[in-house]
Amino acid sequence: MNRPDGVKLAVFDCDGTLVDGQHDIVAAMDEAFAALGMVAPPRADTTRIVGLSLPQAMRRLAPDQDETMQAALVEAYKQAYRNARVEGRIGEPLFDGIRDLLDALRGAGWDLAVATGKSDRGLVHCLATHGLSDHFISLQTADRHPSKPHPAMLEAALDDAMALAQDSVMIGDTSFDMMMARHAGVRAIGVAWGYHSARELVAAGADVVAQTPRHLQAILLEGNGA
């Protein structure tokens, strides 16, 4: 593959990094468990699995259930989330400062991509809602790849952008994102406004943890805070 010189790629997680989807995720999970006559996991347990593919998430949230029931929970969650979207109940607001960050990176010549545990449909809807569909050259989801922290999503984004691992960064709010970056040989940058603590992000391999989107912009464009 012929790679253009100077390609810089920033790959973002979505939930907990670009948008705050916590309320919607917890609500759909609660509905999924209720639909199958089960007690929903505590909110804290649900937020801990954000970023994983749904089958992986259900194995963690319902470890005592067999594969058939875990698969049923996956389908019940998808249906609950789909119903919420159709009924206009999905919010997923951008975190403050994210739009300015993305515009600044594009203006500085960075290519942008997303690697997320969301479905293709969910990610496309989310980005379109915020008018960000044209900001990203590669969209990688759990529909087409193994769950994080497997590096497949990140490697596909690198291929799409024709970028080298050493010229790229993975930006996310969970330890799964940081481990995925390490597996792919990409610089790992954590963000402090999502689901896992800064200490967990560093333990999982984060080179640095950005405290705000403006801090992240300084790290990437000004070399500050690294």
Look at residues 114, 172, 104 and name the one whose alpha carbon lies nearest to residue 140.
114
CA distances from 128 to 60, 142, 195 (A): 31, 19, 24
Length of the chain: 226
At 109 the pLDDT is 96
Counting as low any pLDDT under 50, the low residues of the chain are 1-2
3-state DSSP call for residue 77?
A: helix
- Which of the residues are catalytic? 13, 15
What's the confidence (pLDDT) of residue 145? 96
CB under 8 Å to 132, separation ≥6 — which residues? 99, 102
Instruction: Report the alpha-carbon distance of residue 103 to residue 203 in Å, rounded.
Output: 30
Report the pLDDT value the prediction gives residue 177, as an integer from 0 to 100: 98
CA atoms within 13 A on the CB side of 44: 1
pLDDT at 210: 98
Contact indicator for 178, 206 with CB cutoff of 8 Å: yes
Q: H helices then E strands: how many in the chain? A: 10, 6
Q: What stretch of H or E contains 34?
A: helix 22-35
Encoding tokens for residue 178? 């940081």
pLDDT in tens, 83-97: 998 998 988 999 999
Given this model, what pLDDT does residue 107 score?
A: 96
pLDDT of residue 225: 56
Burial class (CB in 10 A: 0-12, 13-18, 19+), 128: exposed
Under a CB-based contact definition with an 8 Å cutoff, are residues 171 and 189 in contact? yes
Strand order in the sheet with 9-12: 138-141, 111-116, 9-12, 168-172, 187-191, 208-210
Domains of the chain in start order, with CATH, are 9-20+93-222 (3.40.50.1000), 22-86 (1.10.150)
